[in-house]
Amino acid sequence: MAIQMNIAITALLLLFTSIPIVECTDIDVVANFGAVADGQTDLSQPLMNAWKEACASAEPVNIVIPEGTYFLSEATLNGPCQAPISLQLQGTLMAPEDPTVFKEATWVSISYVDSLTMFGGGVFDGQGATAWGQNDCAKNKNCVKLPINIRFHGVKNSLIQDITTKDSKQFHVNVLGCSNITFQSFTVSAPDESLNTDGIHIGRSDGVYILDSKIETGDDCISLGDGSNNVKVQGVTCGPGHGISIGSLGKYENEEPISGVFVTQCTLANTMNGVRIKTWPASQPGSATDIHFEDITMDNVGNPIVVDQEYCPWNQCDLSVPSRVQLSKLSFKNIRGTSKTQIAVKLICSSGLPCDEVELADIDLTYNGPEGPAISQCSNVNPVLSGVQNPAACSSQPTEEAAP
């Protein structure tokens, strides 16, 4: 079964990550539009002028940002464009340090572009350190939204390769309403103390591929919101961070289903959680199905495997009412390594809609703390078991005190 799934994933990746190589004209923001790499002169207008010319061209155009450090106040790069367009970022773009200068919660926005290629080894530096202490959105509904480093909205058939996003003030990358977009050899760099800085957040998109990438941040390395379909994560190293998460789901009305998520051949090191699915109690109705985690290495990970349908941070919910998000066709296979908490496996499903078709295969997770060996907790789920089960599957009853 594992071999068959890997073959299927490989075939899909080859299909969707094949970006045709086309001849294109280079335009240089320095040579052609007067940009200055002094870390102070605003790149915004030269970049916008270059984008406008490239987007209007009937032939493919490559916008080049040469090596050097550029101050960029903001950039809104909209399509549709007449032909494929690429952005060759070789330098470092520096955001304003003061978060109050942003009119919108976005630094760089790319919208409604078909056949975008972004490459070049460059860096988007959000200079977020001064803003992280101002981020209280997790518990304050009236908080001021801090800017996201890069937003992709309505982008399709595109490749983001060999690019780094650093120290974003909020999420590093937001992918919304996109289709067939690939992140390859992509780097997210931020310290553990950077609040609410999800590496790549995906929502209402179909065909998102995150391959051979490294994500270090202060929140989820990868997070999937509602409407995330046909998502493939392969060869990703995560940590520090909060792990790879689906959800939280069910908080809002009219959330779209999640289906077809494959996370394989990844390593999580020193993260708060490992692979996680979370839904709110007393939730709006929803569903997440056909979700698979396979060949995952856990290195000193808190809560390596988590399904939590009683997700309730800051006591913002009613735990007495079960979640109405149906989880089904979930698999956790060949997941091994070390847990830094005793609860290595936690499957807490909804008492109103128990998890359906859950599989645990070849789980080998150890814990060496003072409480004793690792344990596995289950509620409202009857998983199908095969291969190694360490800890013994569903051998412990969940308690409120033990919940992560």
What percentage of the chain's residues is helix, strand, coil (to nearest 5)? 10, 45, 45
Q: Which two tokens stand for residue 151?
A: 């937003």
Angle made by CA atoms 94, 95, 96, in degrees to the nearest 5: 125
The pLDDT value given to residue 21: 47
Is 242 annotated as catalytic? yes
The pLDDT value given to residue 330: 98
Q: Return the bridge partners of 173, or none.
A: 150, 200
pLDDT in tens, the chain (404 residues): 444 444 444 444 444 444 444 578 999 999 999 999 999 999 999 999 999 999 999 999 999 999 999 999 999 999 999 999 999 999 999 999 999 999 999 999 999 999 999 999 999 999 999 999 886 666 666 677 899 999 999 999 999 999 999 999 999 999 999 999 999 999 999 999 999 999 999 999 999 999 999 999 999 999 999 999 999 999 999 999 999 999 999 999 999 999 999 999 999 999 999 999 999 999 999 999 999 999 999 999 999 999 999 999 877 788 899 999 999 999 999 999 999 999 999 999 999 999 999 999 999 999 999 999 999 999 999 999 999 999 999 998 776 543 33
CB atoms within 10 A of CB 399: 9
Q: Amino acid letter at 330?
A: L
Q: Which residues contact 379 (CB under 8 A, 6 or more apart)?
A: 347, 348, 349, 351, 397, 398
Q: Which two tokens stand for residue 396?
A: 């412990």
The pLDDT value given to residue 136: 67
Indicate the pTM of the whole model: 0.93
Concatenate the DSSP letters of all residues of 171-221 into one string.
Answer: -SEEEES-EEEEEES-EEE--TT-TT--SEEEESEEEEEEES-EEE-SS-S
C-beta pairs of 8-17 under 8 Å, 24+ apart in sequence: 9/232, 9/234, 9/262, 9/264, 12/230, 12/232, 13/209, 13/211, 13/232, 13/234, 16/180, 16/182, 16/207, 16/209, 17/159, 17/182, 17/184, 17/209, 17/211
Q: Which residues contact 124 (CB under 8 A, 6 or more apart)?
A: 89, 93, 95, 107, 108, 149, 150, 163, 164, 165, 166, 168
Q: CB–CB of 402/373 below 8 Å? A: no
Q: Which two tokens stand for residue 261?
A: 């998520």
Instruction: Report how far residue 226's alpha carbon sits from residue 256's, in angstroms, rounded to the nearest whole number.
Output: 5
The pLDDT value given to residue 134: 80
Q: Which two tokens stand for residue 15?
A: 């299909």
Q: Return the bridge partners of 277, or none.
A: 246, 307
Instruction: Report how far residue 378's alpha carbon sits from residue 356's, in angstroms, rounded to the nearest whole number.
Output: 13
**Of residues 172, 201, 242, 292, which has the active-site annotation?**
242
